[in-house]
Amino acid sequence: MASDPIFHIAFPVNDLDEARAFYTGLLGCTERPEKVFDGLATLNFFGAQLVMVEAPDEVQAPPPGDRPVPTKHFGVIMEWDDWHAMAEKLKAADVEFVWGPNVTKHEAIGEVGSLFINDPSGNSLEFKSYRDRSKIL
């Protein structure tokens, strides 16, 4: 087993060009230049491989509910200062937050920063940070 596995996720988007602009333009991800096939883009999402497939008929909007955070989501755990910088960047871009940005203190793990946003297709993303990174897992 590899000592440094890389997480991979693939998901549908409504419009690949719109999704590309969001992930590369706003979030700063980089796209792998070679194409596997039309309608697909592979990104470096903060060290994980993210594959977006243009498949509007498969996009599922988050269901309405009374949960404070989206049940179905994926995200990244960032360094403390990087998380704060991302929160400020998203605020400056007038991104609508689903939840947060908040820093909460948990008795067992200390301070945790978290925020949720949706991409243009409604996929929910979490940006999270632990002041004490030894408490992540």
pTM, 2 dp: 0.91
pLDDT at 111: 97
Can you name the residues that pair with 111 across neighbouring β-strands?
105
pLDDT at 10: 95
pLDDT at 61: 75
Question: Could you tell me the fold of the domain covering 8-56?
Answer: 2,3-Dihydroxybiphenyl 1,2-Dioxygenase; domain 1 (3.10.180)
Is-same-fold flag (8-56; 74-135)?
yes
pLDDT at 72: 87
SS (H, E, C) the chain: CCCCCCCEEEEEECCHHHHHHHHHHHCCCEECCCCCCCCEEEEEECCEEEEEEECHHHCCCCCCCCCCCCCCCEEEEECHHHHHHHHHHHHHCCCCEEEEEEEEEECCCEEEEEEEEECCCCCEEEEEEECCHHHCC
pLDDT at 2: 60
pLDDT at 30: 96
Rounded-to-integer distance, Cα 91 and Cα 6, Å: 29
Q: Where are the domains of the chain?
A: 8-56, 74-135
**The domain 74-135: what is its CATH number?**
3.10.180.10
pLDDT at 45: 97
Low-confidence ranges of the chain (pLDDT < 50): none
